Amino acid sequence: MNLDIETKEDIQFFVYYLFKGSLDPRFFKKEYNYLDKLLSSPSDLYKCFEIFVYSFVNDKNIKPETYVTNFIINLHENKGDIIKMDLIHSEIILNDFWLSFLELSKNFCFNSFENPMKDNYLLELNGCGSDAVLYFSVWTNIIQIDENWNVLNKKEASMRANERIKMWENYVPLIQFEDWELEQEIY
């Protein structure tokens, strides 16, 4: 079955606002742009995705963006990443879908795609939420899960997401994208 619309929206909105620089209203009041530091550090960027996933699964009462925002603020103020460590070292067990999403996120953050991007491509996403969403929206549209959230087409979904992001470099995919693959919940 296809991924439900709510999960698609949660993922795509998170990516959009993270890369737009407007993840939380508190950032409008701060005198810094967290993206400069975050996009220069793939490991810190990946921690944001980890925190998003673990908080999404763990705490339905608090938006995951709140945990990620607190991590970013602590990172900027050199207070460490206590929030991330508490979540990840808890007893949360992720299903196959969320593990696959983290693998996708790791490829994105560390440029460990099967077909890698040019160096420093993350820096070009500074303030460009809609450009960052493209990669994740293709994946959320293509991914197929069963009733237990086991992923049925991980390789295909990851490959298509990789092809989509490579189009920034004038890459032409072997199979042209269909409209439904490119649909986004946010623009």
Residue 151, beta-bridge partner list? 145
- pLDDT tens digits for 18-72? 998 888 877 776 666 788 888 899 999 999 999 999 988 887 777 888 889 888 8
Q: pLDDT at position 3, please?
A: 94
Report how far residue 179's alpha carbon sits from residue 177's, in angstroms, rounded to the nearest whole number.
Answer: 7
Average pLDDT over the chain, rounded to whole?
A: 87
Q: How many CB atoms lie within 10 A of CB 172?
A: 8
Q: pLDDT at position 132, please?
A: 87
Q: How many CA atoms lie within 13 A of 91 on its CB side?
A: 0
- Tell me the average confidence (pLDDT) per consecutive run of 10 residues in the chain, 187 residues long: 94 92 77 81 94 86 85 78 57 90 96 88 81 92 97 97 91 93 81
Q: What angle, 0 to 180 degrees and rounded to 10, lies between the N-to-C axes of helices 64-76 and 42-58? A: 150
Report how far residue 127's alpha carbon sits from residue 83's, in angstroms, rounded to the nearest whole number.
Answer: 25
Residues 6+ apart with CB under 8 A from 131: 19, 124, 125, 168
Fill in the DSSP letter of residue 149.
-
Percent of the chain topping pLDDT 70: 90
Q: pLDDT at position 80, please?
A: 59
Report how far residue 146's alpha carbon sits from residue 2's, in angstroms, rounded to the nearest whole number.
Answer: 9
- Radius of gyration from C-alpha coordinates of the chain: 16
